Amino acid sequence: MLSTFVITAAIAVLGLKIFNVFPIEKNEPAGDEIASNNDGEPVSNEPIADEPKPEPVASSSVLVTKATSSNCTIKNGYLMLINPNFTVETSFIATRKTELISLSYHYGIQEANRNNGDNLMDPVAAAKLYEMVNAYKVDYPGHEIMTRSCFRERGTNCGRMCYPTGTTDHHTGLTCDLIDQSYGSSLDTSLYNQHPEWRWLKANSYKYGFIDRFPSEWAGGPMSAPRNLNEVGTTGLYETWHYRYVGVEAATEIATGKYNNGQYDSLEHYLLSRGLVTDLINATCKAN
Ligand SMILES: [Zn+2]
């Protein structure tokens, strides 16, 4: 009886093998395993092709190029884009420093935390910042905006909130982290959002050419998740205190969502919508 069962089972298994019912073993990873590099970013599993790739076809209409300071509108001027995909060289940062002025010396805007740089900013942006902090002071007596960190020569390497040298908006000379001293010196987004004065800043800064550079709407997920800089313009950050000069016209279009259905825009999405950036991941731009 038992031997009959064993023989029957063996025949059944052999039949299933012949008809390929059992899955074929592969050496590929399971579908939800994504290879990643040291930064946790996905890397391609595509095999390297043996044949040489064809040269790109030259065309007089090709205006798209890798963004560099010499070939790209958004690497100069007030719409300058620097982020982990659109990076700059240390020589660019050194040159930029020579073009900036001291907010403390020229406008009496003090830096709350003096070890973050020299409180430097582009002269045009600095004049507009002065206008903005004065308007704030008039509307909210007893409150005063101070800078915490403006131009930075070096980046930082301390996780999601930090950027290696060459990748931070703080190299533009158009940015300052701002604080209201009466809230204390802690940079805490939830704390800042509790204050009507700070909500005034987000609502009115565009009139002075400034934008909330890392608005909650474009954070691309919770701050506890990996940084998400996606192809449509999420920034991966939510920093209530980080204000960036882009000029009054662009700031107005960003704050009023001209290219974002009336909702607050991100600088990345705005530049993409205007065609000045052509690929946010591969850092290509429309050539000058
Ligand atoms: Zn900042």
Q: Which domains does the chain have, with CATH numbers?
A: 64-258 (3.30.1380.10)
- Please state, in angstroms and rounded to a whole number, the distance separating the CA atoms of residues 237 and 240: 10
Both tokens of 140, joined, read: 């909210």
User: How many other CB atoms sit within 10 Å of the CB of residue 214?
Assistant: 22
Distance 75 CA to ligand 1 centre (A): 19
Predicted confidence at residue 39, as pLDDT, reads: 33
Buried b or exposed e, range 70-88, using 16+ CB within 10 angstroms: eebbbbeebbbbbbbbbbb
Both tokens of 3, joined, read: 């031997």
Predicted confidence at residue 8, as pLDDT, reads: 43
Distance 172 CA to ligand 1 centre (A): 11
Predicted confidence at residue 4, as pLDDT, reads: 44
Distance 176 CA to ligand 1 centre (A): 6
239-245/277-279 β-pairing:
unpaired
Distance 111 CA to ligand 1 centre (A): 13
Predicted confidence at residue 116, as pLDDT, reads: 60
Tally of helices (H runs) and strands (E runs) in the chain: 8, 9
What is the identity of the amino acid at 259? Y
- Please state, in angstroms and rounded to a whole number, the distance separating the CA atoms of residues 229 and 73: 21
Distance 277 CA to ligand 1 centre (A): 22
Distance 186 CA to ligand 1 centre (A): 13
Instruction: Provide the 3-class DSSP secondary structure of residue 271.
Output: helix
DSSP 118: -
Distance 169 CA to ligand 1 centre (A): 7
C-alpha dihedral, 59 to 62 to 67 to 70, nearest 10°: 70
Predicted confidence at residue 185, as pLDDT, reads: 64
- Residue ranges for the chain with pLDDT beneath 70: 1-63, 114-117, 157-161, 185
Distance 10 CA to ligand 1 centre (A): 69
Predicted confidence at residue 113, as pLDDT, reads: 72
Predicted confidence at residue 31, as pLDDT, reads: 28
Distance 153 CA to ligand 1 centre (A): 13
Q: What is the pLDDT of residues 156-211, one digit of tens each?
A: 766 666 788 999 999 999 999 999 888 876 777 777 777 888 899 999 999 999 99
Distance 175 CA to ligand 1 centre (A): 7
Predicted confidence at residue 208, as pLDDT, reads: 98
Predicted confidence at residue 70, as pLDDT, reads: 82
